[in-house]
Structure 1
Amino acid sequence: QRDRLMHAIGYVIDQLDTPGEVLPLLAQLGRDHRKYGVTDDHYNAVADALVAALANLTGTELWTDETERAWRDAIALIVATMTDAANAEQGPPTWVGTVINHHRVLDDLAIVRLQLDQTMPYVPGQYVSVQVPTRPRMWRYLSFATPPHPDRIVEFHVRRVSGGWVSSAITTDTRIGDTWLIGSPLGGLGVSRRPGRRRLMIAEGTGIAPLRAQLLDMARLDDTPRTHVFVGGTYPCDLYDLDVLWGLSRTCPWLTVVPVIENSDNP
């Protein structure tokens, strides 16, 4: 966690010259951190501890008043952006999703549908952090595979990762009626809305999930531009959602779906 924290802070510091990119990211993180019960006092305590640690590691010769002011200003910007976004958020810190369907399409891949306890405003292409009952306090990120639904139904495609505690629990141990905690929507993966601009989408395995959500959303719109989707996998079975994509292409003349595989036979 310490390595991740310093990597994130270093990235933000490097990007401060382009605030239009990094400040929205910090705002999303602030909204997402509400699920931990983080308050303004926590942020301020971490800021003071971080400055003290930097001063201790840098040494008195290099740690000048100017250096301290620069670091305090940068950290204050990070804290203010995150806390302002968190405090301005009107939605709940977490949503509760009840599992209504668990379909294990492959030995290591499951499609899970949940019904949320209240409406979640998200954009197709975004992702959320989830916590499952069999792995408390272990948050993992999953992309929505469907656009917002009036019945508050969401869908996730989860592939078991070798050594992954949460992905293994989701694919093998999930039961109908289980309740998940779901954090605030994150990310900015989206499609251009410029008129006449053709679109190219490329995905492999469960990477199709956020693109699938966008395609289903685009099917509701008028005047959708030509879109080519290349969906890949090592084996034919990895194209687990191909029937859905082809079915969509049959009713949407603007959509072309091209499957790509490395091996023609399944293992």
Structure 2
Amino acid sequence: MGDLARLLKESWSLVEEHQDKVAGYFYARMFLSHPDLRDLFPVQMDVQRARLLGAIVTAVQTLEDPERFDDYLRALGRDHRKFHVEPEHYEVVGGALIEAMRAFAGEEWGVEYDQAWADAYAVIASKMLAGADADQNPPYWYGEVVAHERRSQDIAVFTVLPLQPLEFRAGQYLSLEAPRYQPRLWRTYSPANAPRRDNTLEFHVRAVGAGWVSSALVRRLQVGDMVKLAAPMGSMTLDRRSTRDAVFVAGGTGLAPIKSLLEELTRYNRTRWVHVFFGAQNREDLYDLADLNRLAARYPWLSVVTACSDDPTFPGEQGDISDVLAKYGPWKEHDFFVSGSGRMVKATLKTLAELQVPSIRIKYDSFSE
């Protein structure tokens, strides 16, 4: 471990148990010194409170993996254009971060820790600024809701037509804001379709707990409403050069990017067998099964296995989809794509490790409100 990484981990350990207080102090310092920054953030700060701080800390602590995080940080810089972030804001954030950590670290905090965090943050900020500067697209796109359908009590499928063309790759995700209902609150969702000639984007959203955005999108969004869409991100995309058969594992509305990848495959695949494992708690949450079955009936290379973990009368497989997956196979020579809740993705990755599937063949996205 290099000196920089060691100093970052040592210093973070001094404040880790006070994360909530550090976050509160962090925002307080920013807003007191630059009140204009408050307008960049949502009215409700309960979710946002730890999000920015957590992203910075994670990026700083993984600074020594440049190959993995260079593209990520550049994409993050492009994405942050939606917040109307200016270059001078980066300096304010960096200063508030170090000041907040120093305030709660106690006497063990030293000048070498100050310098380590300043150096690491400078690298992150420079990469994010480079990504933002290189992007010729608008900070975000406006889109009109042209269809909205409730598939269950908590799940909706809706279609958005961007007012300008929005380029993305199947399997990617983007941030969405519903300004009429939750202004300045952005959440990430994956389109459930590959790029289409009419430019429409289909989204599958489940209202989760006290989720401000997801609840609005499911229960309040209407045809004719306008939403904002930020730059696409994510690398859970198909490699057309691969000749390996593929396995898609989806939990709940994690099916959306899987549907996007399947739509792309229908346009060119002739040689790869594709297996979809779709799991949910009960049959109502298998909200798009009819369309999946239609695809499987039309394309001989596609098979679908469904499972419910809490529906004893369901005629398909019983149990968590990660466990059901293990009953099939062998899978050592397949490409894997996994999408769903954090718990579902973690369980599936554990199963694949036990089945000795090489991690290099696994792509995944984990979603939560």
How high is the TM-score relative to the length of structure 1? Answer: 0.91
Contact 2:162 2:199 (8 Å CA) reproduced: yes
Aligned twin of 1:150 = 197
Higher RCO (C-alpha 8 Å, min separation 6) = 1
Aligned twin of 1:122 = 168
Q: Given the superposition, is the C-alpha separation of residues 137 and 2 from structure 1 closer, same or farther in structure 2, using an over 3 Å criterion?
A: closer
User: Matches of 1:258 and 1:163 in 2, distance apart?
Assistant: 31
The residue identity in structure 2 corresponding to 1:125 is G
The residue identity in structure 2 corresponding to 1:130 is L
Provide, for residues 46-67 of structure 1, a one-character-per-residue CA deviation record: whole Å limited to 9, x for no partner: 2233334444555677423x44
Aligned twin of 2:272 = 225
How is 1:164-243 mapped onto 2 (pairs within 5 angstroms)? 164-243=211-290
Corresponding position: 1:81 with 2:122:
no
Choose the corresponding residue for 1:70, options 91, 94, 116.
Answer: 116
Aligned twin of 2:12 = none
Q: Given the superposition, is the C-alpha separation of residues 43 and 249 from structure 1 closer, same or farther in structure 2, using an over 3 Å criterion?
A: same
Structure that is richer in helix per residue: 2
Aligned twin of 1:23 = 70
Q: Given the superposition, is the C-alpha separation of residues 3 and 163 from structure 1 closer, same or farther in structure 2, using an over 3 Å criterion?
A: closer
Contact 2:60 2:124 (8 Å CA) reproduced: no
The residue identity in structure 1 corresponding to 2:81 is R
The residue identity in structure 2 corresponding to 1:34 is R
Aligned twin of 1:6 = 53
Contact 1:96 1:117 (8 Å CA) reproduced: yes
User: Matches of 1:23 and 1:85 in 2, distance apart?
Assistant: 10
Report the alpha carbon displacement of residue 13 of structure 1 after superposing the two structures with TM: 2.2
Aligned twin of 1:105 = 151
User: Matches of 2:78 and 2:64 in 1, distance apart?
Assistant: 23
Report the alpha carbon displacement of residue 105 of structure 1 after superposing the two structures with TM: 1.4
For the aligned residue pairs, the C-alpha RMSD in angstroms reads: 2.0
Corresponding position: 1:131 with 2:177:
yes
The residue identity in structure 2 corresponding to 1:11 is T
Identity percentage over the alignment? 38
Aligned twin of 1:261 = 308
Report the alpha carbon displacement of residue 71 of structure 1 after superposing the two structures with TM: 2.3
How high is the TM-score relative to the length of structure 2? Answer: 0.67
How is 1:238-249 mapped onto 2 (pairs within 5 angstroms)? 238-249=285-296
Structure 1: 5+ residue stretches without partners: none
Report the alpha carbon displacement of residue 32 of structure 1 after superposing the two structures with TM: 1.0
User: Matches of 1:190 and 1:50 in 2, distance apart?
Assistant: 34
* Stretch of structure 1 that moved more, 154-163 or 8-17: 8-17
Between Structure 1 and Structure 2, how many residues are aligned?
265
The residue identity in structure 2 corresponding to 1:99 is V
Report the alpha carbon displacement of residue 194 of structure 1 after superposing the two structures with TM: 4.3
Contact 1:129 1:183 (8 Å CA) reproduced: yes
Question: Secondary structure of the equivalent of 2:232?
Answer: coil
User: Matches of 2:299 and 2:251 in 1, distance apart?
Assistant: 22
Provide, for residues 97-139 of structure 1, a one-character-per-residue CA deviation record: whole Å limited to 9, x for no partner: 1011011111211110011111111111111111112222221
Contact 2:148 2:159 (8 Å CA) reproduced: yes
